[in-house]
Amino acid sequence: MTKQEKILWVILPVVLVILFLLSSTDLIIKEKKTVIYPISIIISDTSDDYFVNFRKGVDKAAEEYNVDVSFITLYEKGDQDQQLELVKREINDGALAVVLVPVKPEECAKKMDDMVLNCPAVIVGNLIPNEKVKSGIAPDFEEEGRKLGQAIARENSPGKPVWIFMEGLDYGYNRDIYAGAESELKNAGFTVKIYKKTMEDTFRKAIEGLVYPGSEKVIIAAIDTKSLDETAEIIAGSPVYGSYVDGLYGVGSTTRLLTDLDNGVIKGLVISDQFDAGYRSIEKAVESVHRGFQKEQIVLDSYYIRREDLRESKFEKILYPID
């Protein structure tokens, strides 16, 4: 072996060791680092029971966009001030964006107008005039009310009293839904009476009052998910009540409500794609972190469904999304 060959045999292992060290320390082959986006979602309730499909959409988008989601519930029911305090807390704790489901949209809009947000926000509802609120994602709530009113008018004889059950006009977007429903019902010749939940047994007492002799049958429309859930439970719990209620209608699409629709407790529901709302809220939050895009109101489609519609493929995808 020549002297040159001996030198090569010494140099070669050294070169191989150097190349190995360079590659293993990421100096030659740069690995793409995964950016994780901490995003907080502050919902409008003390429980996330009514956000199951929304949460599935959030989780799907979080997986695709590398988002670390914090799902925050309220400590006290209906507390708008507390919700906005939670927004501030999450931003201070490092959230790059927040997604907010307002408890009381009008009050929220007024208070957020004076807030200084240090990160972009997405509203699951109608846009709020704060420069950091980049997207609103929601169905047309008044249109939901119109669809509810049209369905009741189409399926029942005019002149019957319609009771509207709700948590309150300021709760969520009840004011818009009620305006749409009332307009359609009154135009069709129905009388409308509001029942706001002021006590734990507001709805139960109203329904129990129907059992007295001489009481006429009524149609009940519960325009928010909580009120509909409670009303369905009351009616399903007694075979007597169903004889005095000509039909229970409402807005919402939780698993429990869909079961009540399938079992005939609920006659018809107005629904929207909550999976899509959850997915797009995260998608838009990530986009706003990257590009700070222009304000945009995304309007989700809404539908009126009856029991026979539950097995349609179109509605199965909306109502029972795959995780």
Kindly report the CA angle at 98 between 96 and 99, in degrees rounded to 5?
A: 145
32 within domain boundaries: no
How far is Cα 317 from Cα 54, in angstroms, rounded to an integer?
13
Concatenated DSSP letters of 236-262: HT-TTGGGTEEEEEEE---HHHHHHHH
119 within domain boundaries: yes
pLDDT tens per residue across all 323 residues of the chain: 565 555 554 565 555 555 555 555 555 555 567 789 999 999 999 988 899 999 999 999 999 999 999 999 999 888 999 999 999 999 999 999 999 999 999 999 999 988 888 899 999 999 998 888 989 999 999 999 999 999 999 999 998 899 999 999 999 999 999 999 999 999 999 999 999 999 999 999 999 999 887 678 999 999 999 999 999 999 999 888 888 999 999 999 999 999 999 999 999 999 999 999 999 999 999 999 987 667 899 999 999 999 999 999 999 999 999 76
How far is Cα 116 from Cα 236, in angstroms, rounded to an integer?
48
311 within domain boundaries: no
User: Are residues 225 and 201 part of one domain?
Assistant: yes
* Domain, as residue range, for 194: 141-251
How far is Cα 135 from Cα 201, in angstroms, rounded to an integer?
38
Task: Kindly state the tokens that stand for 186.
Answer: 């009154």
How far is Cα 145 from Cα 308, in angstroms, rounded to an integer?
21
Which residues does 249 contact at the CB level (< 8 Å), separation at least 6? 148, 151, 152, 219, 220, 221, 222, 266, 267, 268, 269
When divided into structural domains, the chain yields a total of 2
75 within domain boundaries: yes
Instruction: State pTM to two decimals.
Output: 0.87
User: Are residues 153 and 209 part of one domain?
Assistant: yes
How far is Cα 295 from Cα 285, in angstroms, rounded to an integer?
12
User: Are residues 103 and 53 part of one domain?
Assistant: yes
How far is Cα 145 from Cα 158, in angstroms, rounded to an integer?
18
259 within domain boundaries: no
Local structure of 153: helix, strand or coil: helix
Question: What is the domain-level CATH number for residue 96?
Answer: 3.40.50.2300
Task: Kindly state the tokens that stand for 208.
Answer: 């129990």
User: Are residues 89 and 42 part of one domain?
Assistant: yes
User: Are residues 169 and 121 part of one domain?
Assistant: no
Local structure of 186: helix, strand or coil: helix
Q: Are 141 and 171 in contact (CB under 8 A)?
A: no
